[in-house]
Chain A
Amino acid sequence: MPTGFESLTSLGPVRAVFEDEGVQILPNFGTPVPSVLVRYHDGFAYRVQAMLARNRKDIHIWRWDEVATIESNIWRRRGQYGSSYAVAEYTLTKRAGEKVVLNDTMKESGGIAHIKEAVFALLEPPLAKRYEAGEALTFGPVTIHRQSGLELDQKNTPGTSSRMST
């Protein structure tokens, strides 16, 4: 267990520990990318750079019920000699706006499959209730409504395109 994480009893028992498989030489000034992540029963905690974390304040705690969205960005990157490989990056956002990026620097992107399962299990029931009640739900550029169907807002969304069928 990485130092400092053993005392986080508020998140319940530890489920898995993930550590950065590479060496991060340059500091990251954008959205934080954990170098250590511990998944617990009720959430996860991470530290950006273990060597810089001198006290418990450097550990960020995320409870499952604090996570509002998970965006999955997976693409292929060209390697040497014509080969290519998949690159994955998952951006998690708290209801308060705080973000963290989980990527391939950790095995299984920090156990993203389990994280998604836990987060979506909490988000799905109230959303389903609102959808069944006839409320429009928005997922970024996509809005769904039980009666009127799907709507795609392309005005302010990079990466969208439109074409007529042939």
Chain B
Amino acid sequence: MKNGRFKITLNDREHQEVRVSKIPNIELLCQMIGLNLNSDELQYV
């Protein structure tokens, strides 16, 4: 997660991203997958 974007890398090395504002309960999502959420990174830049 960086600059308000949730980024993932697929098995074929393709990168995908989505704005965190589109993800409800983003904090819970991060908690589920063991991702440390820096609240500063919620801000879209």
On A, residues with C-beta under 8 Å from B are 68-76, 86, 93, 116, 120, 123-124, 127-128, 131, 137, 139-142, 144, 150, 152, 154, 157-165
On B, residues with C-beta under 8 Å from A are 4, 6, 8-9, 13-29, 31-33, 42-45
Tell which of A123, A140, A163 touches B15, judged by Cβ atoms closer than 8 Å.
A163
Could you tell me the dominant secondary structure of chain B's interface residues? Answer: mixed
List 3 A-B pairs, minimum CB-CB distance, nearest first: A69-B24, A73-B21, A159-B19
Decide if A164 touches B23 in the complex (CB within 8 Å): no
Q: Which residue of A lies closest to B44 (CB)?
A: A75
Instruction: State the Cβ distance, A110 to closest chain B Cβ, in Å.
Output: 17
5 A-B residue pairs with CB within 8 Å? A73-B21, A75-B45, A76-B43, A120-B27, A127-B28
Tell which of B16, B21, B43 touches A152, judged by Cβ atoms closer than 8 Å.
B16
Docked pose: A120 CA to B28 CA in angstroms: 7
Tell which of B23, B29, B43 touches A74, judged by Cβ atoms closer than 8 Å.
B43
Decide if B27 touches A116 in the complex (CB within 8 Å): yes
* Contact residues in A for B20 (Cβ distance below 8 Å): 72
Decide if B18 touches A164 in the complex (CB within 8 Å): no
Instruction: State the Cβ distance, A166 to closest chain B Cβ, in Å.
Output: 10
Decide if A144 touches B18 in the complex (CB within 8 Å): no
* Contact residues in B for A139 (Cβ distance below 8 Å): 23-26, 28-29
Decide if B45 touches A76 in the complex (CB within 8 Å): yes
* Contact residues in A for B32 (Cβ distance below 8 Å): 127-128, 131, 137, 144
Instruction: State the Cβ distance, A131 to closest chain B Cβ, in Å.
Output: 5
Instruction: State the Cβ distance, A159 to closest chain B Cβ, in Å.
Output: 4
